[in-house]
């Protein structure tokens, strides 16, 4: 490593080290970098558990990340086009709302704030999901706004998730059972009444947009610590 490099353990020690009487100027010059690195930890999060598809658990609560469900999923048009259309139909609904007739659109109770319309630009549609007994893993790459998952279109249903800010991979149920109340019950084992996933689509590339609230909080804390540190400097 060059003379201007600093090891990760040294950055960590700067955050935990009490202010000395005599300041080591050579190490102190890395403190802003350490603080910015700390703030950067909030720029993305990952979903560790499998994504659930409950529109209403009976007390007006929906699964985390769920925008809504469509039972059964629509079949007209190409995969990316119809998935974007179903997503936009859900976005146009009020929180907790349900349509009448078939297909049944159920908008979750999750308030994600203002969400952009779904488009097919940069969409990643995947089909030919094999049989199995393990979750289906989706790599989010550099980040996307929406993830649309379809289970045996004419008989099953569709779940739409807001995955903006998530990184790495997420897991999905390989099979799902549609319910008349708008819920989709997930399973990784084929069984009566459950339909196999036929495909999934990533919509609206984002480049791993950060979770706003977490990022602002961590960045504010880092800048606050930097401001306090400056009071101890004597040049």
Contacting residues for 16 by C-beta, under 8 A, at least 6 apart: none
Digit-coded pLDDT (tens) for 124-136: 999 999 999 999 9
Q: Which pLDDT score is estimated for 227? A: 52
pLDDT score for 49: 82
Q: Above 50 in pLDDT, residue 73?
A: yes
Share of the chain above pLDDT 70, in %: 68
pLDDT confidence tier of residue 7, bands split at 50, 70 and 90: low
Does the pLDDT at position 165 exceed 60? yes
Tell me what pLDDT residue 76 has: 80
* Radius of gyration, alpha carbons of the chain: 23
**pLDDT, mean over the chain:** 80
Q: What is the pLDDT of residues 19-40, one digit of tens each?
A: 444 445 444 454 444 444 444 4
Give the residues across from 146 on adjacent strands: 162, 203
> What was the pLDDT predicted at 233?
46
Structure tokens at 84: 């974007």
List the domain boundaries for the chain: 8-44+212-230, 66-205
- Confidence check: pLDDT of 63 > 70: yes
For 26, the 3-state DSSP assignment is helix
pLDDT at 152 over 50: yes
| pLDDT for the residue 129 | 95
Whole-model pTM: value is: 0.72
The answer to whether the CB of 119 falls within 8 A of the CB of 203 is yes
Q: At 166, is the secondary structure helix, strand, or coil?
A: strand
* Whole-number pLDDT of residue 217: 43
Looking at the chain, list the stretches that DSSP marks H as alpha helix, in order from N- to C-terminal side.
Answer: 8-16, 25-28, 31-40, 79-91, 212-230
User: What pLDDT score was predicted for residue 69?
Assistant: 98
pLDDT digits 0-9 by tens, 177-232? 999 999 999 999 999 999 999 999 999 999 854 444 444 444 444 445 445 445 54
**Cα distance between residue 44 and residue 21, in whole Å:** 37
Least confident of 11-15, 92-96, 169-173: 11-15
pLDDT recorded at residue 140:
96
């Amino acid at each position: 490593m060059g003379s201007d490099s600093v090891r990760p353990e040294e950055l960590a020690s700067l955050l935990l080290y009490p202010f000395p009487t005599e300041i080591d100027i050579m190490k102190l010059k890395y403190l802003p970098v350490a603080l910015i690195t700390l703030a950067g930890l909030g720029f993305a999060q990952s979903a560790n558990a499998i994504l659930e598809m409950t529109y209403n658990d009976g007390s007006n609560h929906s699964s985390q990340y769920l925008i809504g469900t469509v039972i059964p999923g629509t079949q007209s048009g190409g995969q990316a086009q119809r998935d974007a259309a179903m997503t936009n139909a859900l976005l146009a609904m009020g929180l907790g709302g349900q349509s009448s007739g078939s297909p049944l659109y159920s908008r979750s109770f999750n308030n994600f704030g203002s969400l952009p319309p779904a488009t097919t630009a940069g969409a990643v549609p995947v089909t030919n999901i094999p049989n199995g007994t393990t979750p289906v893993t989706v790599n989010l790459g550099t980040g996307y706004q929406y993830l649309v998952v379809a289970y045996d279109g004419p008989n099953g249903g569709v779940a739409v998730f807001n995955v903006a800010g998530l990184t790495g991979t997420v897991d999905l149920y390989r099979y799902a059972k549609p319910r008349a109340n708008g819920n989709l019950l997930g399973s990784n084992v084929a069984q009566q009444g459950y339909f196999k996933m036929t495909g999934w689509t990533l919509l609206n590339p984002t480049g791993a947009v950060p979770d706003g609230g977490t990022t602002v909080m961590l960045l504010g804390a880092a800048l606050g610590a930097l401001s306090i540190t400056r009071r101890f400097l004597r040049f």
